[in-house]
Amino acid sequence: MRMRKTAAAGAMVLALAATATACGGQSGSAGDKQPGSDVYSADYTVAKDVKVDSPTLQKAQKAGKITIGVKADQPFLGFKDPATNTYSGFDIEIAKMIAADLGFSAKQINFQTVDSNVRETAISKGQVDYYVGTYTINDERKKQVSFAGPYYTAGADLLVRQDDKAITGPDTLQGKKVCSIVGSTPLQEIKKKKYGAVTNEQAKYSDCVKYLLDGTVDAVTTDDAILKGYAAQRPGKLRVVGKAFTKEPYGVGLAKDDKALRDAITTALENHIKNGDYKKAYQGTLGKSGSAYVAPETPLPRY
Ligand code: GLU
C-alpha cells in the first residue's frame, strides 16, 4: 500500500498545529478558510480484475468510473473545497478505500454531493453507486436501501455559542430554538415532545451554523463528529456541549437488493481496518477535530 501526503497537506497540518497551540487545544482558524478539510489524502492500492456479481458494479466497470454520494459541508468528514473543488475528510477516505478494492483509482471516482434528505432517493434510483456521508444505519432506512458497516459510531450532541451558559444538555432545551437537518435522525429525535425545543429545519448543516452564529437559533443538533468540525472551524465562537444523547452507527449506503456489492464493501472495510489505513485516515481527519479514535469492531455484520 502506498501512502503519501502532499507538501501542501503537510503545510496545512503545520498551520493547524500552530493554530491549535495558540487557541488552547482547538484546531482551526478564525477566518473563513476551512481548516482540516484538505489536510489528509492517501492513495490506496487499486485491485485488478475485480469480479463481483453486482449490477451496480458491472455498470460502473463498463463506464470506467464509479459515482459515490458524499457530503460537501462537513469539515473533517466530507468537505468540498470551493477553491479547488476537491473533496476531503474521513468519509472521503473511506469512500476511496472501498473504491480501490472495487478496482477504481481516486481519478475514476465521481463524487456527487447528496444532502441528507435525498440520500435514499439517490441510492435507490441509481444516481450514486454507493454513499458515504455520516449515514446512520437504522431499520426505517433499511426498508429502502441497504448498509455495509458500521465503520464508525457517533452520537447526537449540541453545538452552541461559546458564551451560552444556559444550554448544558438535551434536557435544557425547553423553548429553545434548535436547528437541524431535514431527513436526519437527530432532527427526528429533537422533535420529541420531551425536549420542548422549537425546531428550525434546514437542508444544509452550514445554514444551521450560520443561524447559530447570527443568533437566529440557540443551538444546532446533529452528530458530535460533525459538530466538532464546525467548532474547530470557529474557535472561541462555538462549542460542543459534549453530552451525546443518541447512538449513530455510520454505514455505507447502497442499493437494497445488491447483496454482492454489500459483501464486497464489507470486505473492503474490514481489509482497511486491519491493514491500518482506517486508523491513519481517522487520525488525519476526524482525530484532528477532537473525536478520540475508537477501533471499529470486526468482523462487521453480514446479512
Ligand atoms: N447521522 C445522522 C443521519 O444519518 C445525522 C447526520 C446526517 O444528516 O448525515 O441522519
Per-residue pLDDT of the chain (303 residues; tens, 9 = 90+): 444 444 334 333 333 333 333 333 333 333 334 444 447 999 999 999 999 999 999 999 999 999 999 999 999 999 999 999 999 999 999 999 999 999 999 999 999 999 999 999 999 999 999 999 999 999 999 999 999 999 999 999 999 999 999 999 999 999 999 999 999 999 999 999 999 999 999 998 889 999 999 999 999 999 999 999 999 999 999 999 999 999 999 999 999 999 999 999 999 999 999 999 999 999 999 999 989 999 999 999 998
Query: Which atom number of ligand 1 is nearest to the Cα of residue 222?
Result: 5
- What residues contact residue 219 under an 8 Å CB cut-off, 6+ apart? 158, 159, 160, 164, 167, 173, 176, 177, 178, 179, 212
Query: How far apart are alpha carbons 46 and 2 in whole angstroms?
Result: 10
What is the 169 CA–ligand 1 centroid distance (Å)?
19
- All three cell numbers of 217: 437559533
Q: Give the number of domains in the chain.
A: 2
Q: Cell 481519478 sits at which residue?
A: 107
Cα 250 to averaged position of ligand 1 atoms, centre (Å): 8
Q: Judge if the beta carbon of residue 229 lies within 6 A of ligand 1.
A: no
Report yes or no: 268 and 102 within 8 Å, Cβ to Cβ. Answer: yes
Would you say the CB of residue 135 lies under 6 angstroms from ligand 1? yes
Which atom of ligand 1 sits closest to the CA of residue 154?
1
Q: Are residues 254 and 198 in the same domain?
A: no
Q: Which atom of ligand 1 is nearest to the CA of 133?
A: 9
Assess if residue 5 is contained within a domain.
Answer: no
73 lines ligand 1 (CB under 6 A): no
44 and 59 together in one domain: yes
In a domain, 267, yes or no: yes
pLDDT at 82: 92
Q: Does the bond joining 299 to the residue before it have cis omega, within 30 degrees of 0? A: yes
Strand extents, DSSP E, 71-216: 73-74, 78-80, 87-88, 109-113, 130-131, 145-154, 156-161, 177-181, 198-202
**Ligand 1 atom index nearest CA of 183:** 10
Residue 72 pLDDT: 95
Helix (H, G, I), strand (E, B) or coil at 178: strand
Residue 77 bridge partners (DSSP): none
Same domain, 35 and 146: yes
Q: Are residues 148 and 160 in the same domain?
A: no
Residue 50 covered by a domain: yes
| 27 plus 115 within the same structural domain | yes
- Tell me the CATH number at 185: 3.40.190.10
C-alpha of 259 from chain center: 24
Domain assignment present for residue 32? The answer is yes
Atom of ligand 1 nearest to the CA of 226: 6
pTM: 0.88
Ligand 1 and 248: CB distance under 6 A: yes
C-beta separation of 116 from 69 below 8 A: no
CA 85 – ligand 1 centroid, Å: 23
What's the domain range around 111?
A: 21-154+249-289
Contact 37, 27 (CB under 8 A): no
| pLDDT at position 61 | 98
